[in-house]
Structure 1
């Protein structure tokens, strides 16, 4: 392959640390007239255009954006591929919503043609919204994951996904067995994990839909392949938590079920965590596990308000998740708009720089990928976005009144959506152009 070196000039912003740990000012780098240099799919230089331009060859291809901001690609730490077709379904809380809408929709993934079609729509939606990495639930059918990874591989995307493991408390047409879920997951791991920029996640749906035998085998897979991911749900809804207590009376609580089956660890991501207690946050932090904060979904299903300050107190890794189809938007900008309101309702503040962190570097840390994605440091994958200040008339007018990058960033997160994403790059390749 010929060497490809390109440069991109615009305002550039990225997170370099968690504002909760280092303070806001030390948490980001901003270049008002910046330059990002990309060599063979990786970032080779980042800095002020005035300093970097003289060091580059005269014939380098430079793309100059006016009225735009370059940021790292967004990272969605919790989303469901097979729920794309039922996003925005009316009028239920979690358990009824699963039975009424989710399970029937997921049953269609027994058909490979359907799985291929939805994978294509799903990936286009991610990229249109600036999401370059996602932690994805498939359906119980292995072909849901095969279709997704086949589509992601063609674009050289960094994606993580897994086949749902679910052997009880779901319709017969949608359950596997402890043994079949183990064998099917293993086959998918052997085929996809570590291929290109793809990773596999062991995916028990949530404690109520897995028998102890299935949870035991999920833990066994994590032992057999030490660098796998694990994703599931926890403490989303009060009725769900009561149900877990009835099904596992011998365990101390919801988290203890997963802990007992050895599902906590540095690559374990638990979605929601709305109703966690201090002890559970401490245990998650101690094991290096992470939480995916899913504000749009938590509002839409009436689940509750995630306590981000408590997670910060325990130094617990937190990423942000759209949770489509419980969440109603693929846009992480819109999801951050909701996250701000979740904090407001609890009398807490969410600075735009913390929001940027959650959608980029925080997500990368939750996935243990901060050396590869989530920031624009030289040596990382060239996964980045170009956000258009004039995407809509209102956005353009409002940003003319912004006095600094903090205000600009906040307005992008409150008024921005998929239209704001002018271009999405993955491994240096243009994968979406508005």
Structure 2
């Protein structure tokens, strides 16, 4: 687009079709004009060293040379997400029978989920493209992140959610914006509405619709951070939750970019996807050995993963098969158990997406699909305070006693 300022998208050079390879100029596009395949950002990366990255800020902008953002991105108000902790999970590893396990804990981002990463990249694109409304369809975490980032940036923000979304996630969005719109329907209905609005309203940037290629690149920073925090090396195995599938595909892209740039040594690694059984179109296709993803109507407590027609589902299948991984699913009861297990072994309170991922990791061990001797990473994408209702009936006081030692003794607490 001729009115873009020089370097508006950093080292990005074009949007490239993931199906036919057609390239189009950088702009608010997400579908290939030739085959209607999805577009992603292509780059001409400069030489970049570990030392240059390590000298950067303790957030995702330490990787700005590898993202579609301008060199002066740090001068623009944003929530500065990223560089969250990578925890050695020895207690959980012992419980599951794994030799080495790490938890990448993204619950400590500004709005307590990994979505702050992708939204920061989308916000940059929104500014550079001159859009005046910052918007999204969301299952909750994205709405929180967009609303907060919009407030910080001083841009008009509108977020659309399914009307049955968990109440804490609704409050966490409404506190930042008075333009929270609840839609009667599931996420796929909300997303369809967003696409219709994006087609009609020129000034609107829907982060996961017309600026989706830029937005999706933010997930790469999870992969960059994991490698850097492991001492500039890749894990042997990684388990990632699957909603649209974008996060899993971008972590894989990040690993490949790090290898290409010589920042890590190339090696085999296995990527596993995690879904809830009540919305598992990718897992179903993987187990059936087919390439087509059949859309489903979501019915699960893991609402942040409840995307019945995942945009990147076919690419998740490709990556799982290519790397020797798998895509697995677990029941809602197993999701709840996964939340409790992570909390009581590692002191991390995860939301239902993280409970799904931990439960899938457990299942992968039990079914022999994962090698327990290899170094494994599991991603926790959000904080459990967002989905309290999923476990509120499963945990609580062990006893209610009178304020006396005799009552304590009689209760047999331990």
TM-score normalised to structure 2 length:
0.26
Larger strand fraction of residues: 1
Q: TM-score, normalised by structure 1?
A: 0.25
